[in-house]
């Protein structure tokens, strides 16, 4: 059974208390005292049978489960995010590419006659023709009608007979308040009614005759008001098709840019190898772009990771794509679409596009570094990923699973390849491939071209 003990000694406002919980001290007067004990400091107020007690300090909370597992109770520290992004597009061009870039940017901002003088007027013509050729008219969908119904008034119901006689064969039993169409009311004792596809007779004394009027129902319908709309549409289509075709040829003469390379047989073979390397790179099941990173000390809730990375899949990749509509070339241009940039890999330089603005950097001014990184993959596992280890969504101090979380699943650790593209002009992009080494040969080829340009002094 429980027991308690309490004894107090004191003089004046000061008092020493001995109890089961230990020794405590208090100071104050009757109705208002402050108590100091191992459990904390309390303020006690009472008056006329009403008391108030409030704790103003106390010992630290008992150890949480996390501290019992060996984790520090210090709040998790997150460093400011490190943004991974190239500088403004106007700063990226190196000195040797300025004239080339200015011509591209100027052409990109020129208005295409085909759209403004051809496509948009054609769409406007179709809308105007559609609006002018049809009109709304009121149509009678249900005409006004009058009908005469026979309503059963007998509470128990009534029989419908085959002939106007009480001894005739019963065709149907009708219930109270049921209605039928009137066929012939001429008989003074029997009323002829219609139900479904047959007729029958009901005794007149069990029914009443009602006349019901149904109003006319109108609806708005769209009708063709222009009898020549088909001819006008045909003539307009022929005219605008011819106009758009002619404007397209005019735009091609105004906006066409030609970039042709003269390659000897040896360089052609080397450039074909460049294309094959890009195909290998693009064949990786997943290619991501890093947007930002930041370090954290909250290893427990981040599967043991010390660095958190925000990434996004590459928006588009193609073995060949031209930067402008009327851009003509005799080579294939590998293409990557990042979150805010488009990259075109020309034989001698990297062409960068943002909106209608271009930048370009010779390969001798680009540095590409590659490495293998261990990545804790909490999304779907790519088919070509190399799993090198396993961890848990929530880990304890020893790296094992934290048993306090019921949904604690195992997460693979993959060996991904990470590539960083930099230039002194401000190019800074980080790409990661799920296939280990997918971009190695492509990156090495670019570096070799850059080294050759540096030796030859290419500009």
Domain boundaries, the chain: 6-58, 82-109+266-456, 116-137+225-255, 145-214
Cα distances from 30 to residues 46, 47, 48, 57, 95, in angstroms, run: 8, 9, 12, 22, 88
pLDDT tens-digit series, residues 109-162: 898 899 999 999 999 999 999 998 988 888 888 888 888 899 999 888 899 999
239 φ, ψ (degrees, to nearest 5): -60, -50
Instruction: Specify the 3-state DSSP secondary structure of 127.
Output: helix
SS3 state of residue 18: strand
Query: pLDDT-based confidence at 55, cuts 50/70/90?
Result: low
Percent of the chain with pLDDT over 70: 80
pLDDT at residue 292 tops 80: yes
Q: How many angstroms separate the first and last alpha carbons of the chain?
A: 96
Q: Residue 203 belongs to what H/E stretch?
A: strand 198-203
pLDDT band (50, 70, 90) for residue 74: very low
Q: What is the pLDDT of residues 342-384, one digit of tens each?
A: 999 999 999 999 999 999 999 999 999 999 999 988 889 999 9
Task: Find all residues with CB under 8 Å of 82, minimum gap 6, and list them.
Answer: 292, 293, 294
Average pLDDT, the chain: 83
Q: Which residues pair with 222 in a beta bridge?
A: 136
Confidence of residue 408 (pLDDT cuts 50, 70, 90): confident
Q: Quote the pTM value.
A: 0.64
User: Per DSSP, what are the bridge partners of residue 195?
Assistant: 198
Confidence of residue 58 (pLDDT cuts 50, 70, 90): low
Low-confidence winner among 186-190, 233-237, 424-428 (lowest mean pLDDT): 186-190
Helix (H, G, I), strand (E, B) or coil at 79: coil
Strand partners for 417: 372, 433
Q: How far is CA 126 from the centre of its chain?
A: 35
pLDDT recorded at residue 126: 94
pLDDT of residue 54: 61
Given a cut of 90, whether residue 453 has pLDDT beyond it is no
- Would the pLDDT of 63 be above 60? no
Q: Is the pLDDT of residue 68 over 60?
A: no
pLDDT interval class at 213 (50, 70, 90): confident
| CATH of region 145-214 | 2.30.30.40
Alpha helices in 195-264 (DSSP H): 229-255
pLDDT at 204 over 60: yes
Distance CA 303, CA 400 (A): 10
């Amino acid at each position: 059974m429980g027991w308690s003990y309490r004894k107090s000694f004191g003089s004046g406002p000061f008092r020493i208390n001995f109890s089961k919980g230990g020794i405590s001290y208090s100071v104050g007067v009757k109705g208002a005292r402050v108590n100091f004990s191992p459990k904390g400091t309390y303020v006690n107020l009472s008056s006329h049978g009403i008391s108030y007690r409030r704790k103003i300090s106390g010992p630290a909370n008992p150890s949480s489960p996390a501290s019992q597992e060996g984790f520090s109770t210090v709040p998790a520290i997150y460093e400011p995010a490190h943004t991974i992004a190239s500088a403004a597009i106007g700063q990226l061009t190196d000195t040797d590419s300025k004239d080339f870039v200015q011509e591209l940017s100027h052409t990109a901002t020129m208005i295409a006659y085909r759209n403004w003088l051809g496509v948009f007027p054609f769409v406007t013509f179709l809308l105007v023709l559609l609006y002018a050729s049809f009109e709304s008219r009121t149509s009678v969908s249900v005409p006004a009608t009058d009908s005469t119904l026979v309503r059963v008034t007998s509470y128990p119901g009534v029989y419908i007979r085959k002939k106007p006689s009480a001894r005739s064969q019963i065709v149907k039993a009708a219930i109270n308040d049921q209605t039928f169409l009137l066929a012939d009311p001429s008989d003074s004792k029997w009323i002829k009614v219609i139900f479904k596809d047959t007729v029958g007779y009901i005794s007149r004394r069990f029914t009443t005759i009602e006349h019901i009027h149904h109003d006319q129902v109108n609806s708005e319908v769209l009708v063709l008001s222009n009898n020549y709309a088909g001819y006008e549409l045909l003539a307009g289509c022929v005219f605008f098709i011819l106009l758009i075709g002619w404007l397209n040829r005019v735009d091609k003469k105004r906006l066409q840019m030609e970039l042709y390379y003269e390659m000897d047989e040896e360089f052609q073979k080397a450039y074909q190898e460049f294309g094959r390397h890009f195909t290998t790179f693009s064949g990786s099941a997943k290619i991501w772009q890093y947007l930002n990173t930041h370090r954290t000390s909250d290893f427990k809730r981040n599967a043991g990771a010390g660095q958190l990375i925000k990434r996004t899949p590459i928006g588009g990749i193609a073995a060949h794509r031209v930067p402008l509509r009327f851009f003509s070339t005799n080579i294939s241009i590998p293409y990557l679409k990042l979150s805010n940039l488009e990259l075109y890999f020309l034989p001698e330089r990297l062409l960068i596009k943002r909106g209608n603005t271009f930048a370009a950097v010779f390969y001798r001014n680009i540095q590409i570094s590659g490495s293998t990184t261990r990545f804790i993959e909490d999304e779907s596992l790519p088919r070509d990923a190399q799993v090198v280890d396993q961890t848990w969504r929530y880990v304890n101090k020893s790296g094992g699973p934290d048993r306090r979380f019921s949904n604690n699943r195992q997460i693979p650790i993959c060996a991904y390849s990470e590539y960083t593209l930099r230039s002194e002009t401000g190019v800074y992009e980080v790409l990661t491939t799920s296939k280990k080494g997918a971009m190695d040969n492509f990156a090495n080829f670019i570096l070799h071209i850059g080294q050759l340009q540096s030796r030859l002094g290419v500009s």
